[in-house]
Amino acid sequence: MKSEKDAPFKAKIIFQILLFVSVGFFYSGEVSAVNMTVPNSLIRGSAGGEAVLSVCYSSFSLDLPVIKWQLRREKSITVVQSIGTEIIGTLRPEYRDRILVFENGTLLLHNLRLSDDGKYDVEISITDDTFPGEGSITLTVDEPISRPYIDMESTSVLELSENIILNCSHDNGTRTTYRWFKGGKPQTNETRFVLSPDQKLLTIRRVLMADDDIYSCAVENPVGNMTSLPIRLTVYRRSSLYIILSTGGIFLLITLVTVCACWTPSKKPRHPPRKPLSRIYDHSHRSTISNRADVIPRLTEHNGINAVTSLYILQQKDPSMDDSSSNSIGSPELDNPPCYTSYTSSLTPGSPACSSHKYT
């Protein structure tokens, strides 16, 4: 009876021993694996600089580890493979003279390029260990930012202007983000302040006097940040008289355009052009002079000086004298020829103004 009661007890002890042995074998297999740790899974580097992809492993084996680094692409690219610190095989042309491998598996990249950006996988294996150690590190490579500046059409605007655009410009930099400040305070999207999707442009709608302030922009990327020099936006007040005149001028312009568009010129008969009175007077004057046998003054040149020749005017006799002369032939009056009065005008001083001449 006693042996029958001890049988279940013995079976229980045997089961516990087998369980303990199986757990021991399980832990002995885990110890044979390479344990790897990655201190930092994200490394940021700048173009032309260097980056350290740091890893650390532990193993009970004294053999040298086989280290393999790969860069993820559509098809993974082998960056380097080494036994300890000794590189195996030939490096790709883009990695020559730029790579160094440390004993703990850490990878150092010199003279970083934008094409080095990506995710790197590392694998460390030891012959005596059953499982290799694996890890991954993401490397970002960016171009440093140059100092930004605000680009705008004019630093002074008139109140109630339509729009004014402020552009945050810079020469260098990749993966950039932008922030705007007004009077030192961050600026966000509002009714009148509109930021572009990338926040590079700031648009102010319907400028008010309250917008007269100091503005600046900040540019950031994974390797640094820079802030532009502040710039002042000056807003001039628009007077009420100016608003009234400008509104009235626009209305008047629209009215004039409408009237001109609707008006058509009337067709009236054209009269022949009239001759100027000066020409009529000229012809009548010439006929009078010819009837009176007047002499027109002419310019003559004497010793290099222009002078006006004498003007002789025929003096008409009284009608009564004509009748008497016709009746009496040989009278004393007929012995004397007509008298002409001479009017001379000369540029030479001392010339006589009038003289009488008799013809024999």
Q: pLDDT per residue over 8-60, tens digit each?
A: 555 556 655 555 444 444 444 444 678 889 999 999 999 999 999 999 998 88
Q: Would you give the end-to-end CA distance of the chain in angstroms?
A: 205
* Distance from C-alpha of 217 to C-alpha of 149, rounded to nearest angstrom: 8
Domain boundaries, the chain: 35-142, 149-236, 291-322+334-360
Average pLDDT rounded to a whole number, residues 120-139? 89
* Distance from C-alpha of 311 to C-alpha of 343, rounded to nearest angstrom: 5
Selected from 2.60.40.10, 3.40.50.970, 3.90.660.10, 1.10.579.10, the CATH number assigned to the domain covering 35-142 reads: 2.60.40.10
* Domains 35-142 and 149-236 are alike in CATH topology: yes
pLDDT band at 291 (very low <50, low <70, confident <90, very high): very low
Q: What residue type is assigned to position 309 of the chain? A: T
Least confident of 81-85, 136-140, 162-166, 298-302: 298-302
Top mean-pLDDT range of 127-131, 149-153, 235-239, 319-323: 149-153
Q: Which residues pair with 201 in a beta bridge?
A: 167
> Which pLDDT tens digit goes with each residue over 220-257?
999 999 999 999 999 998 875 555 556 666 777 788 88
Diameter of the chain measured on Cα atoms:
214
pLDDT band at 333 (very low <50, low <70, confident <90, very high): very low
Nearest CA-CA partner of 91 in 119, 118, 74, 110? 110
> Which pLDDT tens digit goes with each residue over 172-211?
999 999 999 999 999 988 889 999 999 999 999 989 999 9
Domain 149-236 sits in CATH at 2.60.40.10
On whether the pTM is more than 0.75, the answer is no
By residue count, the chain amounts to 360
